[in-house]
Amino acid sequence: MDSLTHPDLSQIRSWLGEVPDPEVPAVSVMDLGIVREVQWEEGELVVAITPTYSGCPATSVIAIEIEAALRAKGIERVRIERRLSPPWTTDWITPEGRQKLEAYGIAPPAEIAGGPSPFERFLRKPPAIACPRCKSVNTHRVSEFGSTPCKAQYQCRDCLEPFDYFKCI
Amino acid sequence: MSDQEALFEYLLRLGDNALVLGHRLSEWCGHAPALEEDLALSNVALDLIGQTQLWLNLAGEVEGKGRDADKLAYLRDARDFRNILLVEQPNGDFAVTMARQFFFDAWHYLLLRELAGSKDGRIAEIAAKSLKEVTYHLERSRDWVLRLGDGTEESHRRMQAAIDDLWMYTGELFEADEIDRAMLREGLGPDPAALHEPWLGLVKATFEEATLSLPQPGWAQRGGKRGIHSEHLGYILADLQFLQRAYPNATW
């Protein structure tokens, strides 16, 4: 009976692996590394999530969707905790998540987060971003900001595809 | 003033800077010179409003009178706002908006970098989160100062005029008062004056590359940190607070 009302954590993680990100539905909240911790606390399931960007409107939708998904699996007591520290970085996107992003047409982050400061960045050449469609690195940035806070707009000079780049933070 | 009161004031400054500039940038939504710029300005506004929520919620918690970020944003009058004068200045043309942004971003970046090492873990985590976003803001606003400064004769003229007009509002960023000193003493925040040298270094290097001239030192306009504002803030609040004032406690 207990395993029915308190499914084990790996089962819960796999259920959460089916909850899509509302802005980028090709990847799940697990793929993005938004779920920081899952644990049972005196019969209550506590899920700690972290925002990608502090103003990202998707964060509250994600909390609602996680709760709904877990309730649909029969878990009645769910508490969503918002955790700020350590701050989310693109390094938390799983290798599987990166592949899914690329297959969906979004170039995954090309750098390790926490790299050069802006003062250093100004002096160097930005990294080459590969076109998710034709894989050419002959691409250019159209804008530092794209359709959501986490993305920038790029265009491929070879196949002319405009595409989103999941920028590195 | 107790330490707790000083911390509350300090957090209001951080939150109000982000709120007022975020609101100013949101005024561009649907009016920017190109679609990419419209998206970019709105994205920066969104980041700043997100940071506002974090700072003002913490301010409310520290104050302990049951006010949250919404109550602090929507139900205070101009005299109770603690933002620096720079961020409430009107958008003007695109050069004015980007010059204001560059001055602010460079300072904001340096400030957050120090605050990420604050002894108060709550301040440190908000600063560390915000710093990642502000890094992008700075990269972009600096790019625009370069592009307009070293662009056409007209864009150069407008960027130089924007810099000359806004320069007098930058002094306030580096002046310490009793609240800043209390934060410094407690290891919660940096000495504002210590940010001036790296800020000026970046501004000078950028202006040089952009073929712009650094304005002569002159009178610095101040007062925002103490609640003495220019006439512009009232108009911002009229717009920002209208709904909550007209329909108290309205939600959607």
Res. B77: pLDDT tops 90: yes
Q: How confident is the model at residue A124 (pLDDT cuts 50, 70, 90)?
A: low
**Beta carbons of A55 and B44 less than 8 Å apart:** no
Q: Does A104 touch chain B (CB under 8 A)?
A: no
| Residue B99 is assigned to a structural domain of this protein | yes
Q: Does B47 touch chain A (CB under 8 A)?
A: yes
Domain ranges of chain A: 2-82, 92-166
| Residue B252 is assigned to a structural domain of this protein | no
What is the β-pairing status of strands A139-143 and A106-107? Answer: unpaired
- The arithmetic mean of pLDDT across residues A125-148, rounded, is 87
**Beta carbons of A149 and B43 less than 8 Å apart:** yes
pLDDT digits 0-9 by tens, B83-139? 999 999 999 999 999 999 999 999 999 999 999 999 999 999 999 999 999 988 998
| Residue B63 is assigned to a structural domain of this protein | yes
Q: Does A123 touch chain B (CB under 8 A)?
A: no
* CA B70 to mean position of chain CA atoms: 18
The DSSP secondary structure of chain A, one letter per residue, reads -HHHHS--HHHHHHHHTTSB-SSSTTSBTTTTT-EEEEEEETTEEEEEE--SSTT-THHHHHHHHHHHHHHHTT---EEEEE--SSPP-GGGS-HHHHHHHHHHTEEPP-S-TT-S-HHHHTTSPPPP---TTT--S-EEEEES--SSTTEEEEEETTT--EEEEE---
Q: Could you tell me the sign of the dihedral formed by the alpha carbons of B97, B100, B104, B107, in that order?
A: positive
| Residue B140 is assigned to a structural domain of this protein | yes
More confident position, B33 or B77: B77
Could you tell me how many residues make up chain B? 252
Query: How far apart are the C-alpha atoms of B137 and A118, rounded to whole Å?
Result: 10
Contacts of A90 in chain B (CB under 8 A): none
Query: How far apart are the C-alpha atoms of B34 and B94, rounded to whole Å?
Result: 11
Residue B110, classified by CB atoms within 10 Å of its CB into exposed (0-12), middle (13-18) or buried (19+), is: buried
| Residue B251 is assigned to a structural domain of this protein | no
Query: How far apart are the C-alpha atoms of B219 and B47, rounded to whole Å?
Result: 32
Identify the domain containing residue B200 by its residue range: 3-213+223-246
How many helices, marked H, and strands, marked E, lie in chain B? 10, 0
With a pLDDT cut of 90, the percent of chain B lying above it is 92
pLDDT for residue A145: 84
| Residue B62 is assigned to a structural domain of this protein | yes
Beta bridge partners of A141: A154
Q: Does B202 touch chain A (CB under 8 A)?
A: yes
- The arithmetic mean of pLDDT across residues B228-243, rounded, is 97
Res. A54: pLDDT tops 80: yes
pLDDT for residue A167: 85
Res. B143: pLDDT tops 60: yes
Give the DSSP letter of residue B249.
T
**Beta carbons of B40 and A145 less than 8 Å apart:** yes
Q: Does B48 touch chain A (CB under 8 A)?
A: yes
Q: Does B215 touch chain A (CB under 8 A)?
A: no
Query: Where is B184: in which H helix or E strand?
Result: helix B178-186
Backbone angles phi, psi at A119, to 5 degrees: -65, -35
If contacts are CB pairs under 8 Å, which of residues 16-75 in chain A contact chain B?
Answer: 51, 53-57
Give the DSSP letter of residue B193.
G
End-to-end CA distance of chain B: 38
Q: Could you tell me the sign of the dihedral formed by the alpha carbons of A74, A80, A85, A90, in that order?
A: positive
CATH code at position B7: 1.20.1260.10
Contact by Cβ (8 Å): A147, A89: no
Position B194: which residue type? A
Given the cut 0.95, state whether the ipTM is greater than it. Answer: no
pLDDT for residue A1: 40
pLDDT for residue A95: 94
Our count of domains for chain B comes to 1
pLDDT digits 0-9 by tens, A87-121? 898 899 999 999 999 999 999 988 766 665 656 66
Sheet strands side by side (includes A151-156): A106-107, A162-166, A151-156, A139-143
Q: Please tell me the distance in Å from A139's CA to the nearest CA on chain B.
A: 17
CA distances from B221 to A153, B50, B174, B225 (A): 38, 28, 12, 11
| Residue B218 is assigned to a structural domain of this protein | no
Average pLDDT across chain A, whole number: 88
Domain A2-82 architecture: 2-Layer Sandwich (3.30)
